Amino acid sequence: MAFLLRRLAYLVYVLIGMSLLMFVVSRMLPGDPALIYAGEQNVTTEMIERARRELGLDRPLLVQYVIYMQHLARGDFGRSLVTREHIFEDLKRYYPATVELALAAIVIACLVGIPVGVVSAVFAGRWLDHVSRAVALFLNAMPVFWLGLMAIVIFYARLDWLPAGGRVSDLHREPPRLTGLYTVDFLAAGDLAGLGSALSHLVLPSIVLSALSMGVLARITRASLLEVLEQQYVTAARAKGLAEWIVIGKHGLRNAGVTIVTVLGIQFGNLVGGAVLTESIFSWPGVGRYAVRAIETTDFPAIMGFAITFAVLYSLVNLAVDVTYYALNPRVRA
Amino acid sequence: MTGRLGKALAWLGRRTRRNPPAVLAAVYILVMSAMAAAPWAFTSHDPYALSARERLQPPSAAHLFGTDEVGRDIYARVVHGTRLTLSLSLFVVALALVLGSIVGSIAGMAPRWLDELVMRTTDIFLAFPQFVMAMAIVAAFSRSMLNAMLALACIWWAQYARIVRAQVLAVRQEAFVEAATALGRGRAAVLVREIYPNCFGPVVVRATLDVSYAVLILSGLSFIGLGAEPPTPEWGALLTRSREYLIEHWWYPTFPGLAIFLTSLAFSFLGDALRDALDPRGRKYV
């Protein structure tokens, strides 16, 4: 319990620090938000002054920050400088698409990365190990945006196997909104054709996005499994005459799992970073593309909204990882 | 100290030579450095020269990597893009390293409260994914490659601060440091002559791997429009331009992306080889 409280306090501290940092940086920007807000053409000085007052930019920086945080506490991220929509509403609309993409990517990364790491560890030092280590290293250095473009060139332009953008083909309507995850919503509505379309749209972006984490997971699984397999309890299990796959599965992987879970949490952050790039390549209507568009129009409240919600989400995932780690590994409790 | 450094480098060279991918990576990096220093030696084409007759030509003897939508030679643009990406990637790591080392040494030598303050500040910088953080910071400043680099340095100093602090704290306890202090050496002298040389290993490995990430992050930022302005030949920006044409013209995205990939790969091979050489225990596992 004390552990959880300490961890929560730390989370709040980091979030406040991060938002303060972002806020100060945003106010140093040369582009004048009041000017953007007032509309860049044909504005008079009075209009800019009024916009400045409306946005509260005439107050001291610290006061502005406190006001911003007070609004934030009520779930009010302010309005977009460009569309004047509530940013909170925008984020609510775009987040599910990103979550769907990131979940699909992490599932793929686990399904491929962990077995590859296990095989690599079991055949350590042999050619299968060398090949999978090389592939993992290659994936680690792969620019996700290039991989995406090449996937479109090959699987869309050349082979015409898979669609290159969007979440669902134009022939299908959006599913009735339940979770915002199209695959789940189509399934709930019993629309199998829609589900097929949503899945086929998900294939390329999620595989591309999973590439980086896949390599990391394979490397970590290999490393931690090799370390565990050297322990005396593994030797003891072998000496008992247990089949090798039981030794690896039950004694090896379960103990290596602690490390793998931790890395998975960190990967979630990279995944959303990668999602910004993946989404803009595959016209995936998620928060990443929203953030890129906000950047293009210097819509700082929107960028802030993205960064802060993302930071909260990221911290919560890491908190969950820490709690899992704590539960799995009695040694850290001491 | 130079003697010690030279010896360390020679020793490193001996250990890495047994690792063919690392040698290959080192050769590739040397070639890229030559390209960055003297791009005109590698291509006779002008990376800015337009040619209406030669729009979107596939690769040929005249245009190794084909041409773009206004007839510019893509090979020339990739070669000339080397300087920007390579120099900024190295520079961002160097800057983060210097900043981080200063902060880290202060934290390691300072009284406890200052140490705490510094370390809790690094927490904020390390708590969030670098790409998103860098994106937000560049977006706040005006968009340029230089700002992208500065934004990244703003974030990365924190990890070097941690590494250096940890090394300082560890090495400070050693007998040779006590001996130097007992001999009447000042704090700064002990730091520079006794402690820094012992930070060399982990810092150099981290830095090499970070160059690999810097290449990816900087070109990624540039790809989403937070880096080089057209018509500057820059790898990420080349990929952005290629998006409208890639369905019919495969060569346009292929080669600039390959340059990013291979450069990042080379530094990560080198970093791995350095880690293996410096820490033989780690070799077994990773």
Which residue pairs, CB below 8 angstroms and at least 24 apart, start in A253-258? Answer: A253/A118, A253/A225, A255/A228, A255/A231, A256/A221, A256/A224, A256/A225, A256/A227, A256/A228, A257/A328, A258/A224, A258/A325, A258/A328, A258/A329
Interface of B with A in 153-212 (CB under 8 A): 212
Q: What is the DSSP letter of A331?
A: G
Q: What is the pLDDT of residues B41-74, one digit of tens each?
A: 888 788 887 777 877 778 887 777 878 777 788 8
> Which residue of B127, B135, B223 is in closest CB contact with A18?
B127
Q: What is the pLDDT of residues B192-239, one digit of tens each?
A: 777 777 777 788 888 998 999 999 999 998 888 888 887 888 888 888
Q: Residue B91 maps to which CATH number?
A: 1.10.3720.10
- Cα distance between residue A153 and residue A160, in whole Å: 9
Same domain, A164 and A66: no
Which residue segment(s) compose the domain that B155 sits in? 2-46+65-282
Counted domains in chain A: 2
Residue-level pLDDT at A39: 65
Chain center to CA of A246: 34
Residue-level pLDDT at B283: 47
Examine the pLDDT at A40 and tell me if it is beyond 70. Answer: no
Same domain, A62 and A99: no
Please, which residues have CB within 8 angstroms of residue B156's CB and are 6 or more apart in sequence? Answer: B92, B93, B96, B100, B130, B210
- Closest listed residue to residue B224, CA positions, set B242, B213, B234, B237: B237
Counted domains in chain B: 1
Q: Residue A312 maps to which CATH number?
A: 1.10.3720.10
Instruction: For residue B246, list chain A residues with Cβ-Cβ distance below 8 A.
Output: 149, 152-153, 157
Instruction: Read off the tokens for A300.
Output: 């700082």
pTM confidence score: 0.84
Same domain, A176 and A308: yes
Distance spanning both ends of chain A, measured CA to CA = 13
- The answer to whether the CB of A290 falls within 8 A of the CB of A306 is yes
Instruction: Report the b/e string of A25-43 with b at 16+ CB within 10 A.
Output: bbeeeeeebbbbbbeeeee
Q: How many CA atoms lie within 13 A of B158 on its CB side?
A: 18
> Which residue of B129, B247, B268 is in closest CB contact with A273?
B129
Same domain, A65 and A103: no
Instruction: For residue B159, list chain A residues with Cβ-Cβ distance below 8 A.
Output: none
Instruction: Read off the tokens for A27.
Output: 């106010």
Average pLDDT rounded to a whole number, residues A57-86:
80
| Count of A-B CB contacts under 8 Å | 143
User: What letter represents residue A2's amino acid?
Assistant: A
The C-alpha angle with vertex B84 and arms to B83 and B86, in degrees rounded to 5, equals 65
- Cα distance between residue A49 and residue A16, in whole Å: 30
Which residue segment(s) compose the domain that A36 sits in? 24-76
Indicate whether A5 belongs to any domain: no
| ipTM for the complex shown | 0.82
> Which residue of A10, A152, A295 is in closest CB contact with B139?
A295
Chain center to CA of B228: 17
Instruction: Read off the tokens for B147.
Output: 């700002």
Same domain, A204 and A269: yes
As beta bridge partners, residue B73 has B67
Residue A48 to chain B, least CA–CA distance (Å): 20
Report the percent of chain A where pLDDT is more than 90: 7
Q: What is the DSSP letter of B67?
A: B
Instruction: For residue B286, list chain A residues with Cβ-Cβ distance below 8 A.
Output: 219, 222-223
Same domain, A54 and A132: no
Interface of A with B in 29-48 (CB under 8 A): 29-31
pLDDT band (50, 70, 90) for residue B106 = confident
> Which residue of A140, A143, A310 is in closest CB contact with B132?
A310
Instruction: Note whether B219 contacts A: Cβ–Cβ < 8 A.
Output: yes
